[in-house]
Amino acid sequence: MQSWAIPQHPVQTTDSEFEDLGLSVVALEVLHRIGFFHPTPIQRAVIPPALDGKDILGLAETGSGKTAAFCLPVAERLFHGRAVRGLILAPTREIALQTQAFLELFGEGHGLRATCLIGGVSLKPQIYDHLERGNIKLDKVEELVLDEADHMLDMGFLPQVQRILQHVPKSRQTMLFSATMPPAIERLVQGFMTSPVRIDLQPEGKAASGIQHRLYLVEPENKKACLLALLHQELGSTLVFIRRKADAEWLSNLLEREGHPVEAMHGDLSQSERIKALQGFREGQHRILVATDVAARGIDVPGIRHIVNFDLPETPEDYIHRAGRTARGSSLGIVSSIASWLEKPQILEIEHTLGEKLPRCTVTGVPPYVELAARPQAKGGRRRRLL
C-alpha cells in the first residue's frame, strides 16, 4: 500500500483561555458557568481548525478532554433544524450518554437538540437498525464524528461503520478521535476523510503522567486477601477491573459482605441498571465500582483515586485505557495490579509498552509471591525466572 502522509498540525504549547480559540460569546458563557476557563491541550489544538470546517484526526490519551474538543465546534457550527445534521458514533453507551450531555450543554444557546440512540434498550434503537428500517435519513449530515475509533474497530464495528458512511453526504466535516493509530484506522481515514489535519498528543505506549503504578505479586489464592487489604489501605474512590461478568457479581457481593459500599457494572445489566450504578459511583453513594472492560473507556467520573486490576487486562493497550480512568487532567491517581506468576507474560508486555518496570509492592497481612528459585527445587522441576 502506498504511504499516505497526514499533515501534522502545530500544537500550541502556551497557556491560553477559551476566549483565544474563536468561540462565540454564547459558548464562552456556558463554559464559564460550568467553571471551564483553560482548555486542555487537545481542545486548544482541535477547536480552531474544527471551527474552520477542516477534517480532524485527533490522537490523544484517555481523559484528555476529547469530548469537549469536538462537541464545542459541532455545537457552534450547527443551528436549529428538523433534519439530522450531525452524527456522532461512539462504541459504548456510557460514551454516547456523556457526549449527549455535552452537546445539550454546549448547544443550549444555539437551539441545538441531541438524541442518543443506544443498542440494548427497547426496540433496539441503534442508528444502524434505524437506517435498515428506513426510520432515519442521514442525507443532510454536515458534521460526522467517530469517537474512540480504535475501540470501535476492536469491538468489530467496522462493517457497520462502513455501511453508515454510505448514507452520509461526501461534502461534510469529519472528525475522528482515537487513542492509537493502528493500520486499520489509517485505512479507514484514507477512505472517508478529506485532507485531514492530524493532531497527535498521544505519547505512544504511555499512561498519564500523574499515575503511580504498583504491582502486587501474590499466590493465586491470596488475590482476594490482597484486594481487601488494598481497599483498607487506599480509602478514595476506587474502580476495580475484573475480566468476567459473573466474577464481577461475585466480587461485588463479596465486598458488600465485607462492609464496603460497592456496585457492579457489566454487560449483562440493563441500561437503567448501568446508569444507576455509574450515577451512584459518581455521586459517592458507593466508593467502589467493580466493572468488566465495558467500563474501561468512556467513564468520566471526576476524582477516581484508585484503579485496581484484580484481573490483568488482555493487552497492554487495555491496561493504559483502564489506567486512564484516574489521574484525569492534572489530578493524581494510583493503578494497582494484583497478579501471580501465571500472569508473567502480561506483566512483561505491559512493562515493555510502558517502557518501565512496574514497582513491586506488598500489603500488610498478605504474604508476597515466593519465587520458585528461592524454594527447594522439586525433582525434575524447572525454575521460574524472577518476576
DSSP string computed for 90-152:
-SSHHHHHHHHHHHHHHTGGGT-------TTSTT---HHHHHHHT----TT--EEEE-SHHHH
- The reply to whether 211-373 shares the fold of 18-200 is yes
Q: Which residues pair with 178 in a beta bridge?
A: 59
**Cα 348 → chain centroid:** 23
Fold of 211-373: Rossmann fold (3.40.50)
Q: State the number of CA atoms in the 13 A half-sphere of 45 facing the CB.
A: 24
Domain 18-200 grouped into CATH 3.40.50.300: yes
Q: What cell does 2 get?
A: 502506498
**What's the CA gap between 77 and 112, in Å, rounded?**
10
Residue 125: band (very low, low, confident or very high) from pLDDT cuts 50, 70, 90: very low
Instruction: Specify the DSSP class assigned to residue 190.
Output: H
Is residue 273 over pLDDT 90? Answer: no
Strand partners, 339: 217
Give the number of other Cβ atoms within 10 Å of residue 155's Cβ.
12
Query: pTM of this prediction?
Result: 0.61
CB 305 within 8 A of CB 236: yes
CA distance 26 to 286: 37
86-89, strands of its sheet edge to edge: 86-89, 143-146, 173-178, 56-59, 197-200
Round the average pLDDT of the chain to a whole number and report it. 83
| Residue extents of the structural domains in the chain | 18-200, 211-373
Are 82 and 98 spatial neighbours (Cβ–Cβ below 8 Å)?
no
Per-residue confidence (pLDDT) for residue 150, from 0 to 100: 79
Compute the distance between CA of residue 250 and CA of residue 290 in angstroms, rounded to an integer.
Answer: 10
Pick the range with the lowest mean pLDDT from 17-26, 266-275, 336-345, 377-386: 377-386
Letter string b/e over residues 249-277, b meaning 16 or more CB atoms within 10 A of that residue's CB: bebbeebbeeebebbbbbeebeeeebeeb
pLDDT at residue 14 greater than cutoff 60: no
Contact 239, 308 (CB under 8 A): yes
Q: Which amino acid is at 199?
A: I
Average pLDDT over residues 78-99: 81
Contact call for residues 289 and 281 (beta carbons, < 8 A): yes
CA-based Rg of the chain, rounded to a whole angstrom? 22
DSSP-assigned beta bridge partners for residue 144: 87, 174
pLDDT greater at residue 76 or residue 8: 76
Rounded to an integer, what distance in angstroms lies between the CA atom of residue 210 and that of residue 193? Answer: 34
Calculated CA dihedral for residues 305, 311, 317, 320, nearest 10 degrees: 10
More confident residue, 201 or 247: 247
For the record, the C-alpha cell of 11 comes out as 500544537
